[in-house]
A = this chain, B = another copy of it.
Amino acid sequence: MAYTETVDRILDAAELLFAEKGFSETSLRMITSKAKVNLAAVNYHFGSKNALIQAVFSRFLRPLSHLMEEGLKKHQWDLDSGQAPDIEQILRLYTHCLLDIPTRHENGVSIFMRLLGLAYTQSQGHLRLYLEEEYSVTFKFILMMVKESTPQLSTEERFWRTQFTLGAMAFTMSSIQPLTDILENKQGSKADPEKVIDFLVPFLVAGLKTPPIQE
């Protein structure tokens, strides 16, 4: 995919509109008129609306995945070393990488998290498949790290606690500022994502570390 200016303008507009309205609720005509490009440009450059959705995700998941792998290497964590990292360190690494993604909009982090949440909750079969194929390696490795760090949990309880963690993160990050306000460029007491994460991580760590109900 050659990144011409038209392609970028489409991706920028689509990213904002998808995050604000959802996928089905955003039409190609909304996107192209916001991006100030011709309607046919989407199908010309991306092929289909579904491919555009996937491209939007790729543009921020690729850097995120890359940052994560670098971070993991730097810590020299290894599954076979027997030295499991603390669960808090894993969360810190993940949130730190999130904040370091280069963003194309203000409040880019909020938008990314909102999109991530939508990817989970909106039943877009094609998107689920695509994400699974493209980025499962990195995320599976993280899941393995979580497993090493929480040996006291049953597989089932660990699975659900991971979901709770994801939910708290995605939901909170996506509502850091009502997205309408973001788009209107309305300013006020702007909530700093870093500060929210400082609140979030101890909350999640406490939940993850609490004794299991299934012995």
Asked if A103 is an interface residue, CB under 8 A from chain B, the answer is: no
A interface, over-half SS: helix
List B contacts of A203 (CB < 8 A). 160-161, 164, 207-208, 210
Interface size class of A (residues with CB under 8 A): 35 or more
Q: Is the CB of A21 within 8 A of B123?
A: yes
Indicate whether A117 reaches chain B with its CB closer than 8 angstroms. yes
Chain B residues with Cβ below 8 Å from A213 are: 198-199, 202
Instruction: Identify which of residues 77-106 in chain A touch chain B, using a CB-to-CB cut-off of 8 Å.
Output: none
Judge whether A123 and B25 touch: CB under 8 Å.
yes
Copies of the protein in its oligomer = 2
Chain B residues within 8 Å of A202, by CB: 210, 213
Closest to A122 in B: B22
Contact call B206/A123, Cβ cutoff below 8 A: no
Convert A103-134 into 0s and 1s, putting 1 for each residue whose CB lies closer than 8 angstroms to a CB of B.
Answer: 00000000000000110111100000000000
A135 contacts across to B, CB distance below 8 A:
none
Contact of A183 with B by CB under 8 A:
yes
